[in-house]
Amino acid sequence: MKLLCDHMLGSLAKWLRIFGFDTLYPDATTDDDLILQLAKHEKRLLISRDKELIIRGKKVKLEVLEIQTTDLHEQLAQVLTHIQIDCTQVLTRCTLCNTPLLSVEKKAVKTHVPSKVFETRDQFWYCAVCNKYYWMGTHYENMIEKINELTNKNKQ
């Protein structure tokens, strides 16, 4: 499922990308008309805290999800209740730009990652847009722990 978070939901957008969802996050300069056009044209679920934007989205027959809290855990739980998560997609997108990550050979990252990371890790991914490298380090382990916590809490 494709998602679009409005500019009030940056942290949520980042975490939805971590979960592997194709999540657009327009910046604060993007007006509501363009947000609605993007959601409609790309068939994205519009996720927002902006009541006016939600009303306008419903008027043009968009699928919308109104977030009613500022708490990130509650926001994620609300989204995960609304849509199904495919755990095979977790950590497959750049958290900054939403681009699908590319698997890269270890030898190709030697000069791009810290030496300790290179010595202790074997799998690496690359975002061709941001020129950023990813690996399964402590951040990964913390994210997986949080994902498991949220998905298990959501099933209860």
* pLDDT of 92 higher than 70: yes
* pLDDT of 87 higher than 80: no
Contacts of residues 135-142 at CB distance under 8 Å and 24 or more positions apart, as own/partner, are 140/91
More confident residue, 141 or 82: 82
What CATH code is assigned to 2-88? 3.40.50
- Please tell me the predicted confidence (pLDDT) of residue 148: 77
**Bridge-based pairing state of the strands 102-104 and 64-66:** unpaired
More confident residue, 136 or 11: 11
Say if residues 100 and 92 touch (Cβ distance below 8 Å): yes
- Please tell me the predicted confidence (pLDDT) of residue 139: 78
Q: What pTM value is reported for the model?
A: 0.83
Strand spans (E) along 45-122: 45-48, 64-66, 102-104
CB atoms near residue 109 (< 10 Å): 18
- Please tell me the predicted confidence (pLDDT) of residue 149: 78
pLDDT band at 155 (very low <50, low <70, confident <90, very high): low
At position 125, the amino acid (one-letter code) is W
Average per-residue pLDDT for the chain: 91
What integer is the mean pLDDT of 107-120?
Answer: 95
Q: What are the domain boundaries of the chain?
A: 2-88, 102-155
